[in-house]
């Protein structure tokens, strides 16, 4: 497995491979890898010949400086996991390499109204930062395909909108959410959960599963009310949002008959903010 710190070194590696017709996949990450990330590498291997994983904790998508500061960075462990998974190359630039003019470099594109909903409402400017770095990573790798996790449902939508904005010829593959045995969606931030938080965190997947299991029994409003009620009285858990939304617009669903529905949740568990979602149909 090759390691690249600069775009130039990465491009030099990829050039002959592309010339010989190899299909390139990019798996963008912020590191602190877990089996969710490795599942993306595995899907990439089914869809391309050469797999590049990027590890870059992107400052422009963080709205809370403390969140950025405490973001876990276990790089040796990450490299060992990628090596085991059979990844071909790791791109791990520093901030100067990605933002030569400084991380306050100007960037703004129209991502549609969904940019400002849900995560966008709680993390102002988050999706401008995400699309800014993903565009830079796409420019560095020029992949045929790129893998993203459904766990960041809104992120996938925003990246697809960015792709359309620039008319980029890249196929986006959305990979299913990998969960712990008890249902908690794997996330790099889970490492911050205390033992108590860890128990309490199960309410996220349980509340989503509730909607899935009882979808035919109740109205949309009842489903939301009952799912939200599951959070009542759980110590240290504060719900940011729980919604049943249209999967294209992320606006609250108007009718159960809509054909693209997803339940999405974000909650602070102790001092850790977690997100999760389940596609209803
Ligand atoms: N449990 C999971 N299952 C599938 N894909 C996942 C999972 N967790 C993260 N991913 C995907 O991995 C990619 C990189 O995500 P990232 O490095 O931010 O990890 P993360 O675990 O989501 O961390 P955090 O949410 O704490 O920032 C994203 O496309 C993300 O959706
Ligand atoms: C896509 C991404 C790597 C951009 O920094 C990040 O938002 C993530 O890990 O999901
Ligand atoms: N996994 C999405 C990246 C973030 O939380 O900033």
55 sits in which H/E element: strand 50-55
Cα gap 252→23, rounded to integer Å: 39
Question: With a threshold of 0.90, does the pTM exceed it?
Answer: yes
Query: Would you state the pLDDT for residue 51?
Result: 99
Cα gap 89→26, rounded to integer Å: 10
**Residue 242 phi/psi, 5° resolution?**
-140, 120
Active site positions, annotated: 37
Q: CB neighbours of 35 closer than 8 A, spacing ≥ 6? A: 178, 186
Query: Would you state the pLDDT for residue 260?
Result: 96
> Consecutive 10-residue runs of the chain (281 residues): their mean pLDDT?
98 98 98 98 98 98 93 96 98 98 94 98 97 98 98 98 98 98 97 97 98 98 98 96 98 97 98 98 97
Determine how many CB atoms are found less than 10 A away from the CB of residue 232: 9
Cα gap 209→207, rounded to integer Å: 5
Query: Would you state the pLDDT for residue 202?
Result: 98
Query: Would you state the pLDDT for residue 9?
Result: 98
Query: Would you state the pLDDT for residue 122?
Result: 97
Q: Which residues are annotated as a binding site for ATP?
A: 30-37, 149-152, 178, 186-189
Cβ contact 278:208 at 8 Å: yes
Query: Looking at this predicted complex, what is its ipTM?
Result: 0.98
**CA Rg value for the chain:** 19
Query: Would you state the pLDDT for residue 138?
Result: 98
Ligand 3: lining residues by beta carbon, under 6 Å: 61, 152, 155
238 forms bridges with which residues in the sheet?
A: 268
Considering every ligand atom, which ligand is closest to the CA of 158? 2
Cα gap 1→91, rounded to integer Å: 11
Cα gap 257→13, rounded to integer Å: 50
181-211 per-position pLDDT tens digit: 999 999 999 999 999 999 999 999 999 999 9
Residue 253: DSSP 8-state: P
Q: CB neighbours of 155 closer than 8 A, spacing ≥ 6? A: 119, 127, 130, 148
CA-proximal residue: ligand 1, atom 25 (nearest)? 187
Query: Would you state the pLDDT for residue 84?
Result: 98
CA-proximal residue: ligand 2, atom 9 (nearest)? 29
Query: Would you state the pLDDT for residue 136?
Result: 98
25 forms bridges with which residues in the sheet?
A: 51, 145
CA-proximal residue: ligand 2, atom 4 (nearest)? 130
Cα gap 137→131, rounded to integer Å: 10
Domains of the chain (ranges, CATH numbers): 2-175 (3.40.50.620), 188-279 (3.30.1300.10)
211-233 per-position pLDDT tens digit: 999 999 999 999 999 999 999 99
Report residue 85 as tokens.
Answer: 């998974």
Query: Would you state the pLDDT for residue 73?
Result: 95
């Amino acid at each position: 497995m090759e390691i690249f710190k600069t775009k130039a070194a990465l491009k030099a590696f990829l050039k002959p491979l592309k010339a010989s017709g190899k299909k390139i996949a990019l798996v963008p990450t912020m590191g602190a890898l877990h089996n969710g990330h490795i599942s993306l590498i595995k899907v990439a291997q089914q869809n391309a010949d050469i797999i590049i994983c990027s590890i870059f904790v992107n400052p422009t998508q963080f709205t809370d400086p403390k969140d950025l500061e405490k973001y876990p960075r276990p790089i040796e462990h990450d490299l060992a996991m990628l090596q085991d998974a059979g990844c071909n190359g790791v791109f791990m630039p520093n901030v100067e390499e990605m933002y030569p003019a400084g991380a306050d470099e100007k960037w703004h594109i129209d991502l549609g109204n969904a940019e400002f909903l849900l995560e966008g409402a709680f993390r102002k400017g988050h999706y401008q930062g995400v699309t800014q770095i993903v565009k830079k990573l796409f420019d560095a790798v020029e992949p045929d395909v790129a893998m993203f996790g459904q766990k960041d449902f809104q992120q996938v939508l925003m990246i697809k909108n960015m792709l359309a904005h620039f008319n980029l010829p890249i196929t986006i593959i959305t990979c299913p959410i990998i969960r712990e045995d008890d249902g908690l969606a794997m996330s790099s931030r889970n490492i911050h959960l205390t033992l108590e938080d860890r128990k309490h965190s199960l309410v996220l997947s349980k509340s989503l599963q509730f909607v899935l299991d009882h979808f035919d029994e109740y109205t949309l409003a009842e489903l939301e009310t009952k799912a939200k009620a599951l959070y009542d009285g759980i110590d240290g858990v504060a719900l940011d949002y729980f919604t049943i939304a249209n999967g294209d617009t992320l606006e609250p669903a108007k009718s159960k008959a809509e054909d693209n529905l997803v339940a999405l949740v974000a909650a602070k568990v102790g001092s850790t903010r977690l997100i999760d979602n389940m596609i209803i149909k």
